[in-house]
Amino acid sequence: MRPVEVKKDIYWVGAVDYDIRNFHHYSRSPEGSTYNAYLVTDEKKVLFDTVNAHEFDELVKHISEITDPESIDYIVCNHLEQDHSGSLPRIVRLCKPEKIFCSPMGLKSMTNIYDTAGWPIEVVKDGDRIEIGRRHVTFLETRMLHWPDSMVSYIEEDRVLISNDAFGQNIACPQRFADECTREQLLTAMKGYYYNIVLPYSANVLKTLKRVTDMGLAIDVIAPDHGVIFRTPEDVAFVINSYKEFAEQKFMKRAVVVYESMWGGTARMASAVADGFEAADVPCTLINLQTSHCSDVMTAMADASAVVLGSATRNNMPMANMMACLANMKGLRPLNRVGGAFGTYGWSGEAPKMIAQALDDMKFDLPAEPLKCYFNPGADDLAACRKLGGDVAAALKAKCGE
Ligand code: FEO
């Protein structure tokens, strides 16, 4: 890779990680990811964010193609999570910057994660503005997008928003700009990223989007710290509107049936539940948790407001992957869902009830009782599964106004 000029004297100097499959150690990134960092060369040379520690050499290589790293004056840390700050200690040693900017909460994170003795840290608050030559940079705190320390940097004269985690996507590819990708590729990556990283903070997303609108912030470029950069008016509008849509979580007429089977009975039940959805004209996807990751479930939920989960009972509870799936889903706090639960059993059969309880705790609407089946589902059991799919489909369609 080579550095890429985003606007005059504003460069992408980050790293593309084609290998990463376990993003942040909890979410799949099947296409890898990028750690974007940006260098602005004005009277002051400013580096916005760094990269994960293992990509340090790549960052330095890119900076060096534009300027001597030791000539960097300022470093801006929009967010201290290690995918952005992992290279910070080595970059600070190399550049010896005049100032390191971060938010008040960023200071707390920085001083606890790293040995910052002697670092020239300057805390900036929401709305603070600095001059770096002919340009000005304004910092806006975006707490909980994605950590309490998160902020974004707005370069006024170029109308460039360096948005850190917000508007990111897990994409590893030679392209640096959204207009070089297909909409389909982009939207899939945006949904996966949003539903596995940003979803719990949806209220903050809507608040931030409203604030940006109210401020009348003119934006030509949105430059996130993961994935591709949005540089055309169409793409900037596209990513903002998509985020609004993701955050609102309006009811969508699609379903996903997620299951974990031990000897195949729960899998047959899952298939019959899906048939029930399709008979009711609700498109339905099946996800087998023994072959898919729980983050695939969240990505599917970006298109589906009905979620029905089934597991065989093992040792008086749902199977392990289903337990992990429920825990992951609960933490990501999806809103506006209808659901149901089912599963086979051989001894006791607690799993469907426990799944239903977990969904109820997440405020799902549950229009039907959890369904359990002794060992192999027979014709009556499969008919009950189709009815379960049909009942949840009817509840979903009512929510969609049909
Ligand atoms: Fe991309 Fe919250 O780190």
> Catalytic: which of 42, 84, 225, 226?
226
Residue nearest to ligand 1 atom 1, measured at CA: 165
- pTM of this prediction? 0.96
Cα gap 146→391, rounded to integer Å: 37
Catalytic residue among 42, 49, 55, 83: 83
pLDDT digits (tens, 9 = 90+) for 117-126: 999 999 999 9
Catalytic residue among 31, 35, 49, 79: 79
Map tokens 């007429």 to a residue.
253
Ligand 1 centroid to residue 336 C-alpha, Å: 26
Respond yes or no: is residue 179 known to be catalytic: no
Ligand 1 binding pocket, CB closer than 6 Å? 79, 81, 83-84, 146-147, 165, 225-226
d(CA 250, CA 400): 9
pLDDT for 24 beyond 90: no
pLDDT digits (tens, 9 = 90+) for 40-80: 999 999 999 999 999 999 999 999 999 999 999 999 999 99
> Residues 205, 258: contact at Cβ < 8 Å?
no
| 81 among known catalytic residues | yes
pLDDT in tens, 279-291: 999 999 999 999 9
Give 220-274 pLDDT, tens digit per residue: 999 999 999 999 999 999 999 999 999 999 999 999 999 999 999 999 999 999 9
For residue 132, what are the contacts with CB-CB under 8 A and spacing of at least 6?
Answer: 40, 42, 43, 44, 46, 74
